[in-house]
Amino acid sequence: MAIIINLDVMMAKRKVGLTELAKEVDITLANLSILKNNKAKAVRLSTLDAICKALQCQPGDILEYVETDDEEEPE
């Protein structure tokens, strides 16, 4: 997938642990872990809003687009 979730990087910069952020954002540890480990297929805007508020950052600090060559081009 071309969208990378850099939540782990932002959490490290802000020195916030998984449990602390999960409580502040009101999300389960399992779901936050999925986001943190870049395994998520989708993220709700309300969740992204809460994470950005808790970490005092912008969505672009967490989400990154990286062009990949593994997707087939339409003919």
Q: Show the domains of the chain with their CATH numbers.
A: 3-65 (1.10.260.40)
Condensed to tens digits (0 to 9), the pLDDT of residues 24-33 reads: 999 999 999 9
Condensed to tens digits (0 to 9), the pLDDT of residues 43-61 reads: 999 999 999 999 999 999 9
Neighbours of 46 (CB within 10 A): 9
Which residues are registered as beta bridge partners of 4? Answer: 64
Cβ burial of 21 (10 Å; 0-12, 13-18, 19+) is buried
pTM for this model (two decimals): 0.83
Average pLDDT of the chain is 90
User: What's the average model confidence in pLDDT over 8-18?
Assistant: 95
